[in-house]
Amino acid sequence: MERNEAIAIIKEHLPEKRFIHTLGVMETAIQLAKTYHCDEKQAELAAIFHDYAKYRPAEEMKQIIIKEGMPKELLAFNTEIWHGPVGAVLIKNEIGIDDEDILNAIRYHTTGRPGMTTLEKVIFLADYIEPGRSFPGVEEVRELAKTDLDGAVFRSLQNTIIFLAKKGFAIYKDTLDTYNSFLLKGG
């Protein structure tokens, strides 16, 4: 699928602010794909569609989680972590993208997972450091991202876990397992 076609589709699914975020993720992901030698077209498409399901009603997402046999545990967590796994299913069914690496990059873009592919890391990181992001610690991760993909992914997970823990939010198993995986066997 061409970039302009994909952008035209996603524009209909997102409010303006999220659409601008998506274009930032796209530019950043393409840059990271160049640096870390993964396919720029895969990075472009995964980035464009990564937040596809973000504004689906919680009830619709819940039904998909149940119907697709996703971990029941997901339902106990904040709905914020549903749009990755649900998005991967919807993009396959509604858009017709069946590239598993692209779908996994979307599926795991919020939590990560142990053993992420380079494309998955690129999308995870691009989502965190795109130019529109301005939270504490993002500048350090932007610097790391220029030379150390695993280091940057690890640092963004660390920041996210600290942020969530300070707020007293539950931390999903995939997020913690991914964090640990970098410490236990170098990514």
Q: Contact region for ligand GDP (CB under 6 A) — 40-48, 66-74, 107-115, 141-149?
A: 107-115
Least separation in angstroms between CB 39 and Fe ion:
20
- Is the CB of 51 or the CB of 120 nearer to Fe ion? 51
- Is the CB of 2 or the CB of 78 nearer to ligand GDP? 78
The DSSP code sequence of 5-69 is HHHHHHHTTS-HHHHHHHHHHHHHHHHHHHHHT--HHHHHHHHHHTTTTTTS-HHHHHHHHHHTT
Q: What is the dihedral of CA 175, 179, 182, 187, to 10 degrees?
A: 20
78 binds ligand GDP (CB under 6 A): yes
Residue 181: name its binding partner from Fe ion, ligand GDP, none (Cβ under 5 to 8 Å by kind). none
- Choice from 13, 109, 121, 155 touching ligand GDP (CB under 6 A): 109
164 binds ligand GDP (CB under 6 A): yes
80 binds ligand GDP (CB under 6 A): yes
CA triplet 114, 163, 26: central angle to 5 degrees? 60
Least separation in angstroms between CB 128 and ligand GDP:
7
76: how many CB neighbours lie within 10 A of its CB?
9
- Is the CB of 13 or the CB of 109 nearer to ligand GDP? 109
Query: What span, in angstroms and rounded, lies between the C-alpha atoms of 182 and 171?
Result: 17
CA dist 2 to 9, 41, 42, Å? Answer: 11, 9, 11
Residues that bind Fe ion (CB under 5 A): 51, 127
In the complex, the residues that contact ligand GDP under the rule CB under 6 A are 51, 54, 77-78, 80-81, 109-111, 127, 160, 164, 169-172, 175
